[in-house]
Amino acid sequence: MSENAERDPAGAATVRIIVVDDHPVFRMGMSALLGSLPGLRVEAEADSLASAVAAAQAQRPDVVVMDLHLGDREPSGVEATREVLRVRPGAAVLVVTMLDDDDSVFAAMRAGARGYLLKGASPAEIERAVRAVANGEVILGPAVASRAVAHLTSARFANPAMALPELTSREHEVLDLVARGLDNLAISRRLVLSPKTVRNHLSNILTKLQASSRAEAIVRARQAGLGEN
Could you tell me where in the chain the CATH 3.40.50.2300 domains are found?
A: 15-151
Rounded Cα–Cα distance for residues 41 and 20 (Å): 14
Low-confidence ranges of the chain (pLDDT < 70): 1-12, 147-163, 229
- Options 1.10.10.10, 3.40.50.970, 3.40.50.300, 1.10.3720.10; CATH for 159-223 is 1.10.10.10
Rounded Cα–Cα distance for residues 105 and 148 (Å): 8
The fold of 15-151 is Rossmann fold (3.40.50)
pLDDT of residue 163: 63
CB proximity list for 65: less than 8 A, separation 6 or greater: 17, 18, 19, 20, 21, 30, 34, 94, 96, 130
Query: pTM of the prediction?
Result: 0.66
pLDDT of residue 161: 46
Could you tell me where in the chain the CATH 1.10.10.10 domains are found?
A: 159-223
Contact 85, 64 (CB under 8 A): no
Q: What is the DSSP letter of 178?
A: H
